[in-house]
A and B are shown apart, each in its own frame.
Chain A
């Protein structure tokens, strides 16, 4: 594979795309499986395409170049008392904004207000013909044109190369409080997830840890209210309130995938709370497989040890009719169910007629 091209401006990005017959963008490569493509594809690094272009705290919006690190964005937002409510992942690992959109990766905080797709407002991107185009907008509400910005979430850079992205942000809640609840097994934990998600508490995050029985639950809002709500939660289920330091460590561990096997297969699976017990049963049937269930039982991250072949996981996910994408390690990119449709090919043709970007199956 050749050395990546590193454009520093959107104009240079256009040049880079036009300069080669086959190209794919890479950011910090924190989800390396997504850019494992045939050797004839030239990689374009967004490493030098970084910086916040506009940030209007009173508008609840910012625009940044695709290669801007989440760390830089989080820092700028924190200074103004705001945040990205979808709670981006792999921040400390160096993940970029563009990679986060392409991967469609949201953290535990996505439980309350939604994921990447719910906060992306607009993009500037280079299409397969090498044109720099703008879609969506820069204001918090807009439905003019087609919503390509949403389409790009999870599309792995296969339909266009992101140059610049506009996001909606929210004010940081006045305070947060994390509770750790202990249940007997995955079945009981799944019930806690469902019940807590339907409660009046308006939880900020609701996750189930790899041990399959510890539920991590976060409340957010004015401090006096959280005291009262946490008492109510703890009257319902046994558990404890974590200190600020403990809570930070617990959520960072999840956001950064520190619980996962290092350098092995890591897979994102779209699930429902009902399937949680079956999924942990899969983990038990595959030696030392770990699962973190996030967003109240709507997404699972599965980490395989090197001893377990990816095909074994793929077979089980298909048996459960679950779609999945592999983020890192040696496994098929789409390692769950996948339905292909004629429209997928037609849209690819529309946006990338010369197949300059690899396809979803390359």
Chain B
């Protein structure tokens, strides 16, 4: 162990700095499994004071660090760096305050997303952002990547639910922004910190707004002969003036995977399944569901299956939320794309994706947040085959460029990470990239906070 690591270890309780190769192996990758890097060490702080001490040490020594929660990033956001350490926040799991009257929770960064809603449930409250990985992903990671989920159209992303942040920045400065109020005064620093992909520093305490849990849900699943019909149905729901909590579509390959993995049951012979969910006070849902049923019936589905009870609703969501891991069962490796297109161009985008996939001979399953125009093509490949990863990445790149050309975005909710490094400069011009680089340098002048994510490291640039 180097001299610096010895001094680093002294900042932590005994045995809280991992340096042995067999221990580091567990941290060398995240949910973007195609990328692996072994860090110098993994620090496991027990307190936020230790986190501050670690970051200040890194600042003094110019030592890069990567903060990590559960490692569920699909863009490689928590991929380690070879010349730096990982700061694993999994021991910082305390919900510091839960105030049901105020409808807020103050949490440490290692608290698991679903734990917040679980703690709030006795008060009939919940934390709205619900990424598919909610059962394991942490709030710190949700903040860093401004995570979304299935309910973003109506409720927004993580940033829309973060009221306050206490953080240690790349300069070692500890700041406190916002607070328990839903309104803020002055520039919205919390808003800026959300989605900064760990480039600004580490959140130590996060104040979350909680919402009353919807009293009543109405979830309907409809199967369609073609993807386009499903896309048209989404447009019809939107044009109908309804504001569903979620609108999701899965294509044939994704359906096949969900059937294989969790024995989900879908109408046979469908190229696409649409899921629409209404929520609200029971009196309101009772009226809106009649309207929704009319619209969907008129959209020509093969079959329409409204959930008759809570159990059937959960079954519908189980199939949808397990789609990513389900595809993992039918293929050794996959890349999940996260592009966004204007909603009205969904059908067109899917046609292009199908064509690109056929041309490159790579299979691609589609699961997407149709209400947001947020696509999640799952590009499946076998990493053991020569050139397979390259072909998958090339297809991913084509899809991203298409999203930009359609006026959309390269990422809706997964972040740039390492996976889309080449495409941020396509979406933003050189001056805009420069502006972001200057901002980043304000928070982290030494480039020690999660270097190589969102922007390429200087030494890697051509």
Q: Closest approach, in angstroms, between the C-beta of A361 and any C-beta of chain B?
A: 11
The answer to whether B186 has its CB under 8 Å from any CB of chain A is: yes
When distances are taken between beta carbons in the complex, the residues of chain B under 8 Å from A60 are: 153, 238, 343
Decide if A141 touches B173 in the complex (CB within 8 Å).
no
The answer to whether B344 has its CB under 8 Å from any CB of chain A is: yes
State in angstroms the CA–CA spacing of A198 and B210 once bound together: 10
Contacts A117-B191, A202-B281 given; does A350 touch B184 at CB 8 Å: no
Residue in chain A with minimal CB distance to B344: A58
The answer to whether B446 has its CB under 8 Å from any CB of chain A is: no
The answer to whether B26 has its CB under 8 Å from any CB of chain A is: no
Of B187, B432, B440, B443, the contact of A135 (CB 8 Å cutoff): B432
Decide if B146 touches A140 in the complex (CB within 8 Å).
no
Chain B interface residue bracket vs A: 35 or more
Chain A interface residue bracket vs B: 35 or more
How many A-B contacts are there with CB distance less than 8 Å? 259
Q: Chain A 16-42 against B: per-residue CB contact (8 Å), 1 yes, 0 no?
A: 000000000000000000000000000
The answer to whether A311 has its CB under 8 Å from any CB of chain B is: no
Decide if A343 touches B185 in the complex (CB within 8 Å).
no
The answer to whether B37 has its CB under 8 Å from any CB of chain A is: no
Of B181, B238, B341, the contact of A299 (CB 8 Å cutoff): B181
The answer to whether B189 has its CB under 8 Å from any CB of chain A is: yes
State in angstroms the CA–CA spacing of A281 and B341 once bound together: 52
State in angstroms the CA–CA spacing of A324 and B186 once bound together: 9
Contacts A139-B340, A224-B287, A341-B173 given; does A295 touch B409 at CB 8 Å: no
Decide if A339 touches B283 in the complex (CB within 8 Å).
no
The residue among A150, A154, A339 with the most chain B CB atoms within 10 A of its own CB is A150
**Residues of chain A in range 304-358 having any CB-CB distance to chain B below 8 Å:** 323-325, 334, 336, 338-339, 341-343, 346-347, 349-351
State in angstroms the CA–CA spacing of A270 and B163 once bound together: 11
**Residues of chain B in range 397-429 having any CB-CB distance to chain A below 8 Å:** 407-416, 420, 424, 427-429
State in angstroms the CA–CA spacing of A194 and B123 once bound together: 13
The answer to whether A200 has its CB under 8 Å from any CB of chain B is: yes
Of B145, B191, B436, the contact of A150 (CB 8 Å cutoff): B191
The answer to whether A274 has its CB under 8 Å from any CB of chain B is: yes
Q: 25 A–B contact pairs at CB < 8 A?
A: A59-B373, A60-B238, A127-B435, A140-B152, A140-B343, A141-B148, A144-B411, A144-B420, A146-B440, A147-B192, A147-B194, A147-B196, A148-B439, A151-B188, A152-B187, A154-B187, A194-B101, A198-B212, A200-B124, A221-B288, A222-B287, A274-B101, A323-B184, A334-B186, A339-B176
5 closest Cβ contacts across the A-B interface? A150-B191, A225-B283, A222-B287, A155-B187, A346-B442
